[in-house]
Amino acid sequence: RSNEHIAALRAIHQQFGDTVNVVVPMGVSGQ
């Protein structure tokens, strides 16, 4: 699951870019 989660975040990062920079830290902190 971890690999899929990272792959999904990377795919989103390429599409949204800066938006992911905000979403990722919050998601990581949650875990």
Return per-residue pLDDT of the chain as tens, 31 residues: 678 888 887 887 777 666 655 666 655 655 5
Q: Are the CB atoms for 12 and 4 separated by under 8 Å?
A: no
Q: What pLDDT shows up at residue 22?
A: 60
Q: What pLDDT shows up at residue 24?
A: 61
Q: Within the chain, where are the H helices? A: 2-16, 18-30
Q: How far apart are the C-alpha atoms of 27 and 8, rounded to whole Å?
A: 13
